[in-house]
Amino acid sequence: MRTTPTQLAPAPDKPAHPLVALLSRAGLDWFLLALIGVVTLAYFFPDAGSKASPVPWKAITTGGVALIFFFYGLRLSGEKLAAGLRNWRLHTVVQLTTFVLFPLLALAARPFLTSEKGELLWQSIFFLCTLPSTVSTSVVMVGIAGGNLPAAIFNASISSLIGIVVTPLWCSFILHTGTADGQLWSLGLSLLWQVVLPVVAGVLLNRRFGHLAERHRQGLRLFDQLTILLIVFTSFCESFAEGVFRSYVPTDILALGVGMVALYFLIFGLIWGLSQLLGFSRPDRIVAIFCGSKKSLVHGSVLASLLFPGAALGALLLPLMLYHALQIILASIMAQQMGRREAVAEAA
């Protein structure tokens, strides 16, 4: 008997629990709550994830990071990259925003953070501003808002590859990381075998196993998130064990959060205005603002451990974690509003 398209269609998803649906509408998912949870756990049990722990956390997270980038490359075909090159004006706006406009805004803010604590905070903010865009979150938000999905996939993917090179260069020039020849060589080797080689291996195996990666993309995303939770947990354990946050008071965290919201809306507004000026279509404008305004916690966690060996990574990742949480909440609300407006316009 011939199978009809209707029979092949997947069963509809079960309705979400009311609490889950409410959290989803607010932009909150289990990962954001888990981030709060692991930081809280690190606060009360810092020795569990610090260097004093008998568990080989470094080896575990290092292996996890290599697998993350391997599976990322496995889902990235050469055809997707080639097709994505056509819309070059859109891609140029997104990548220049991600890797030039963000760092320049951070440099402009430097004179306002001149104290010793302010200087450390500014360095962590600058590191945040040099990072590439997210992959999954950007694409999901563009889809919800009714944007150009192929262009979103290309920009998010190529941003991750560019960031492997550009982020260390920015940090080396401005924050003077890896300036010694030995440190630079060590960083290059770490990036090569932990990030570049896994991505290349994944891309080369895309034709043979790419369909499996696509089929299990939700499971792979869960693996990504669990690995990042481990990195955040061990980073904050080390920071709490060393007393890095003793000089921070709740008002400091609140002020940093307000600053991250202001940064997000500033970037959002600048990209929107530039997209209007360049005459982008509505779907392309959506790609520009959602892909250009994101920063990747995955790359930030990985590159922080490579670029700042021995540093208190908890303090370095604090602005990034706040920005990550806020960008998901704000972008989710905006994307849903744009999607509803598009649905109303189509119905009319």
**What pLDDT digit, counting tens, does each position of 112-169 carry?**
887 777 888 898 999 999 999 987 678 777 877 888 877 887 887 788 888 888 998 8
pLDDT range class, residue 246, cuts 50, 70, 90: confident
The residue ranges of every structural domain in the chain are 29-341
Report the topology of domain 29-341.
Na+/H+ antiporter like fold (1.20.1530)
pLDDT range class, residue 263, cuts 50, 70, 90: very high
**Contact status, residue 290 vs residue 335, Cβ threshold 8 Å:** yes
Q: Is residue 162 exposed (0-12), middle (13-18) or buried (19+ Cβ within 10 Å)?
A: middle
pLDDT at residue number 273? 94
**Amino acid at the residue 326:** L
**Contact status, residue 286 vs residue 147, Cβ threshold 8 Å:** yes
Q: Which helix (H) or strand (E) holds 44?
A: helix 30-44
Report the phi/psi class of residue 294: left, alpha or beta, with left for phi > 0 and alpha for psi in -120 to 50: beta
Write the CA distances from 332 to 17, 141, 222, integer angstroms: 19, 7, 19
Tokens of 236: 């904050």
- Least confident segment among 38-52, 124-138, 226-240: 226-240
| Residue 320, pLDDT above cutoff 90 | no
* CA atoms within 13 Å, Cβ hemisphere of 286: 29
**Contact status, residue 289 vs residue 272, Cβ threshold 8 Å:** yes
Q: pTM for this structure? A: 0.69
pLDDT range class, residue 11, cuts 50, 70, 90: very low
pLDDT range class, residue 187, cuts 50, 70, 90: low
Q: Mean pLDDT throughout 103-112?
A: 93
